[in-house]
Structures are given as C-alpha cells and as structure tokens.
C-alpha cells in the first residue's frame, strides 16, 4: 500500500455520513441518569480515574524530587568507611562505659 492510496482511503472514509442514532436513546439515557441520581455516591476509584493524569504527574514529580534530593545529599556528604567506623566505635565505647 503506497502513501497515495492510503491518503485516498482516508479521504473516502472521511466522507462517511454519521450514523443515525438508535431510536429512543435520549429516553433510555434519561432513565439511566435517574438511576444514577438515586445510586450511591461516586466511588473513590472513579475519582482517582478522573484525576488520573494529574495524580500520575504529581507522583512522577515527587519521585523526581526524591531522586534529586538523594543525589544532592549523597554528593554533599560522601560516605566514607573510616567515618562510619569512628561513629560506630564512639557509640559502642559510650554504650560500654555507661556514659
């Protein structure tokens, strides 16, 4: 299939007239809405679904901030074996002498 033929196919499909809506749709819809009004309040899942793009972006932002923070603090205070050993020794000595 070449580009020209695909373009022609799109043009033909674009000319398709919109289908006629099944009869009585509005009446069925109004009945469904009446049931909806009497039904339980909106579920938590529906609310999350409606907020989906914003929640996902918020979560991505929090993750990015955490990663940046971790990277920054790791760079500012590099972990060293001797420092850690000293810290543990001090804690152990203080604990052992009861001071």
Catalog residues that contact other proteins under the rule CB under 8 A: 1-6, 8-10, 12-19, 21-22, 25-26, 28-30, 32-33, 36-37, 42, 46, 50, 53
Q: From its phi and psi, is residue 22 left (phi > 0), alpha (psi between -120 and 50) or beta?
A: beta
Taking the complex as a whole, the smallest distance from the CB of residue 42 to other proteins amounts, in Å, to 6
Taking the complex as a whole, the smallest distance from the CB of residue 3 to other proteins amounts, in Å, to 8
- CA proximity to 33, closest of 22, 43, 25: 25
Shorter beta-carbon distance to other proteins: residue 13 or 75:
13
């Amino acid at each position: 299939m070449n580009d020209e033929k695909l373009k022609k196919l799109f043009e033909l499909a674009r000319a398709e007239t919109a289908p006629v809506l099944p009869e009585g749709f509005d009446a069925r819809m109004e009945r469904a809405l009446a049931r909806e009004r009497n039904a339980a309040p909106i579920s938590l899942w529906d609310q999350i679904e409606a907020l989906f793009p914003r929640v996902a972006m918020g979560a991505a932002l929090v993750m990015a901030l955490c990663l940046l923070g971790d990277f920054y603090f790791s760079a500012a205070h590099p972990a060293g074996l001797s420092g850690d050993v000293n810290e543990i020794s001090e804690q152990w000595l203080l604990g052992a002498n009861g001071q």
